[in-house]
A and B are shown apart, each in its own frame.
Chain A
């Protein structure tokens, strides 16, 4: 049996707004084993973003339990959460979010910088990752000198830099055309084949179909959690 990466039990989250407390997650149970590739879908306001934020240690649950690698992350200090994000998690964003003034090598090495790795080690690892995503020739380019698809590849390389146990991707293909989307999904599939655990939020059924498992949110509840029937292989 594979190692359990995520275990969420009775997760509730409410926000204080002007109109009082609004609960956006009404008790979610979710488990994720190493090597899984899960697509999370759901309409706006369904709670999937909040769920992802909590999974990514960016936000704290109101109640319930969130275990990451067996450790409960509720009640950790901001710095401890930062460490979890740095060591155990990788993030891929819809808008790529590369630092505009740094070249790709520095962007990819950034998580290692915050992990305190020495400069030579950061450089070696970043080059290795750029090679892996096919961007080695652009190591010294700035993000604005390359295409959107290339930027997303660099962002994926960055997410992998600290060898995370889990990569969270929030609409990674949302800003890309369908052909580039397919390239990115192909890269994700390959990485998953190599053992990477992935959770990916998307609106597009085509993209979701590339995953092995589909979790669907509606009105703050996990309403569907099943293997993908006909997986799309790219």
Chain B
């Protein structure tokens, strides 16, 4: 019975080819729009996720405090309130997997005939753990490098390429400003940061070396920033309080009315909001695309209503020779679903193709998630059912006598 009805549905669709194709087109466009928009949104989400992962997971950043001179407040780091021993103390807090001071300075690097200006970051041996940033070749920084303030440098991929081209920089000597350093390793590719900066355009040295040979700071041992990593996202709110308490204690801020002399940023929160923004964008794009899907559904309903009217007499004959109402209902719902599912499948292909094209032409990342394909398929079946039901119901409840008399 089902197969006979399906065959009949195919025939009915085939009998009005142009009309069926145009109706299907509505569904094709609707589903394609949804698939494409979800792919674009998902692509954005994945990109953000990648940047979040590139930064490292569960990161806190402690910045040195500001100066308040007669009410004029300078920016963060204008006072030297953090030092390297703060970083050591923070690293020993329970729940902290690593902490590293970060001392940045822009320095001209010179290797043989080439030179390149880049941000040199003075860090300790825990930095690679905190940032989840492996050494691609050479050896990683160790505690001895930091203790001895060795003249060692680790190059980011971009810096290595600019200075050494295709050659292997490990073991080569270069000058950071005036000081000669040896390249001990090349860092793994890190990609863009959230603000679009190339994170591979950098070089790392032990912060001790950086302070001794590069910055020439009068406040030796002071750092502007400490980066630390928590064991898990769950403990971050509690850990934030521990960090604050520890730093206040170390900085002798015993009176609760005194302001912190540092800034504590929970980067997870920033990342979470960035991810939430991307997710909201996906939802918005999906919602806009759903409108066209709904329009496609209305197109199906419209055509099914026309089809039911045209076939009134046929419905009358079927009822007269013993079709029950649900037989008629099933037949027309089946027909509507066949149109919507065929349109949906074509739309799926078109949407996936479109996503590929968008990725290729605009060089943005689009991700066609299997779940979005499943969703579109289910939704198009649902649309066929929903928008096909009313016309089918109208067909099924016809009076056979009047239907037979219909010209």
Q: Does A208 contact B (CB under 8 A)?
A: no
- Bound-state CA distance A86–B325 (Å) is 13
* Cβ B12 vs Cβ A91 within 8 A: no
Q: Which of B324-343 contact A (CB under 8 A)?
A: 324-327
Cβ of B334 to closest chain A Cβ, rounded Å: 14
Chain B residues within 8 Å of A90, by CB: 321
Q: Does A162 contact B (CB under 8 A)?
A: yes
Give A137-179 as 1s and 0s: 1 = Cβ < 8 Å from B's Cβ atoms: 0000000000000000000001100100000000000000000
Q: Does B50 contact A (CB under 8 A)?
A: no
Nearest A-chain residue to B327, judged by Cβ: A114
Chain A residues within 8 Å of B327, by CB: 114
Q: Does B306 contact A (CB under 8 A)?
A: no
Interface size on A, residues (CB 8 A): 29
Q: Does B350 contact A (CB under 8 A)?
A: no
* Cβ B321 vs Cβ A158 within 8 A: yes
* Cβ B11 vs Cβ A102 within 8 A: yes
* Cβ B400 vs Cβ A58 within 8 A: yes
* Cβ B320 vs Cβ A85 within 8 A: yes
Q: Does A64 contact B (CB under 8 A)?
A: no
- Bound-state CA distance A53–B319 (Å) is 13
Nearest A-chain residue to B15, judged by Cβ: A101
Nearest B-chain residue to A56, judged by Cβ: B320
Cβ of B166 to closest chain A Cβ, rounded Å: 70
Q: B323: which of A82, A93, A162 is its contact (CB, 8 Å)?
A: A82
* Cβ A116 vs Cβ B401 within 8 A: no
Give A84-126 as 1s and 0s: 1 = Cβ < 8 Å from B's Cβ atoms: 0111001101000101011000100011011110010000000
Q: Does B322 contact A (CB under 8 A)?
A: yes
Q: Does B318 contact A (CB under 8 A)?
A: yes
Nearest A-chain residue to B4, judged by Cβ: A113
* Cβ B322 vs Cβ A53 within 8 A: no
- Bound-state CA distance A56–B404 (Å) is 13
- Bound-state CA distance A101–B314 (Å) is 11
Nearest A-chain residue to B320, judged by Cβ: A91
* Cβ B404 vs Cβ A114 within 8 A: no
- Bound-state CA distance A119–B1 (Å) is 8
Assuming A102-B11, A113-B4, is B319 touching A97 (CB within 8 A)? Answer: no
Cβ of B230 to closest chain A Cβ, rounded Å: 67
Chain B residues within 8 Å of A159, by CB: 321
Chain A residues within 8 Å of B326, by CB: 79
Q: A83: which of B4, B15, B314, B322 is its contact (CB, 8 Å)?
A: B322
Q: Which of A159-202 contact B (CB under 8 A)?
A: 159, 162
Assuming A58-B320, A93-B404, A97-B404, is B325 touching A102 (CB within 8 A)? Answer: no
Q: Does B313 contact A (CB under 8 A)?
A: yes
- Bound-state CA distance A87–B321 (Å) is 9
Cβ of A167 to closest chain B Cβ, rounded Å: 12
Q: A114: which of B8, B313, B316, B324 is its contact (CB, 8 Å)?
A: B324
Q: Does A219 contact B (CB under 8 A)?
A: no
Q: Does B317 contact A (CB under 8 A)?
A: yes
- Bound-state CA distance A101–B318 (Å) is 14
- Bound-state CA distance A93–B321 (Å) is 11
Chain B residues within 8 Å of A91, by CB: 320-321
Nearest A-chain residue to B403, judged by Cβ: A58
- Bound-state CA distance A110–B1 (Å) is 10
Cβ of A127 to closest chain B Cβ, rounded Å: 16
Q: Does A65 contact B (CB under 8 A)?
A: no
* Cβ B317 vs Cβ A79 within 8 A: no
* Cβ A114 vs Cβ B321 within 8 A: yes
Cβ of B337 to closest chain A Cβ, rounded Å: 19
Nearest A-chain residue to B405, judged by Cβ: A49
* Cβ B322 vs Cβ A162 within 8 A: yes
* Cβ B321 vs Cβ A111 within 8 A: yes
Nearest B-chain residue to A115, judged by Cβ: B322
Chain A residues within 8 Å of B314, by CB: 99
Q: Which of B265-289 contact A (CB under 8 A)?
A: none
- Bound-state CA distance A99–B323 (Å) is 14
Chain A residues within 8 Å of B11, by CB: 101-102
- Bound-state CA distance A97–B404 (Å) is 9
Please give me the 8 A-B residue pairs with the lowest Cβ-Cβ distance, nearest first: A86-B322, A114-B322, A101-B11, A97-B317, A82-B324, A111-B321, A79-B324, A85-B322
Q: List 9 A-B contacts (CB under 8 A).
A: A56-B320, A78-B324, A82-B319, A97-B313, A101-B11, A102-B11, A110-B321, A114-B321, A114-B327
Q: Interface on A for B, CB 8 Å cutoff?
A: 53, 56, 58-59, 78-79, 82-83, 85-87, 90-91, 93, 97, 99, 101-102, 106, 110-111, 113-116, 119, 158-159, 162
Q: Interface on B for A, CB 8 Å cutoff?
A: 1, 3-4, 8, 11-12, 15, 313-314, 316-327, 400-401, 404
Can you add 11 more A-B contacts, CB < 8 Å, to A59-B401, A114-B321? A58-B401, A78-B324, A85-B322, A86-B323, A87-B322, A91-B320, A93-B317, A99-B317, A101-B15, A110-B318, A114-B323
